[in-house]
């Protein structure tokens, strides 16, 4: 018998001063059985950084043809493809060919650093690719906010985010990776 996804609900209030996006989002997040709280919360954070009415969580880990989040335009073309973790070069090439913009968020410290050092030279040619790295500590802190029902506020300014559940506040400084 296959394990089913665990459903999480998040009411996320976003005040993004960088993009002038001020909105509440009622989100349903399906956490794949092989996904941990850290990865799920990085997906939620990626949503906050790129929030838009048309940005949605996909089947992610359940399929190879979809990212973790994406935004499509009215004609069905992919405007934004967001992956979490350390996708392989083939997946990144495919994403860059299919989407106007591709963003990858890494979060696992040394292994993310090793991944980036091995792959960065092969990605120089993609002008539509942006890679951000979160520290391992940030990922661990984000996982402490994971609850089946979450009430979260996220303030974004100057590329930094502050995510709070009213009790704990986590500052997030995603570092852009360059080749």
Within-domain flag for 51: yes
- 81: tokens are 């493809």
Residue 89 lies inside a defined structural domain of this protein: yes
pLDDT tens column, 122-136: 998 999 999 999 999
* Residue 76 maps to a domain: yes
Q: What pLDDT digit, counting tens, does each position of 14-48 carry?
A: 999 999 999 999 999 999 888 999 999 999 999 99
Q: Is the pLDDT of residue 68 over 70?
A: yes
Name residue, tokens 């990212």: 67
DSSP characters for 131-146?
A: EEE--HHHHHHHHTT-
CATH number of the domain where residue 98 is located: 3.10.640.10
pLDDT band for position 109 (cuts 50, 70, 90):
confident
- Give the pTM: 0.94
- The CA dihedral of 16, 19, 24, 25, to the nearest 10 degrees, is -110
**Domains of the chain: total:** 1
């Amino acid at each position: 018998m296959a394990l089913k996804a665990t459903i999480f609900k998040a009411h996320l209030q976003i005040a993004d001063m960088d993009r002038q996006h001020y909105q509440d989002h009622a989100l349903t997040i399906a956490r794949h059985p092989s996904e941990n709280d850290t990865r799920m919360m990085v997906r939620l954070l990626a949503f906050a950084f790129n929030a838009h009415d048309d940005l949605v969580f996909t089947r992610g880990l359940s399929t190879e043809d979809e990212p973790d989040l994406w935004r499509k335009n009215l004609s069905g073309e992919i405007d934004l493809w967001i992956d979490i973790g350390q996708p392989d070069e083939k997946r990144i090439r495919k994403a860059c060919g299919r989407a106007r913009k591709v963003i990858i968020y890494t979060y696992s410290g040394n292994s993310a650093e090793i991944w980036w050092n091995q792959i960065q030279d092969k990605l120089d040619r993609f002008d539509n690719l942006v890679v951000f790295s979160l520290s391992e500590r940030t990922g661990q802190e984000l996982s402490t906010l994971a609850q089946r029902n979450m009430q979260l506020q996220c303030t974004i300014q100057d590329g930094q985010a502050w995510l709070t559940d009213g009790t704990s506040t986590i500052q997030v400084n995603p570092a852009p990776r360059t080749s």
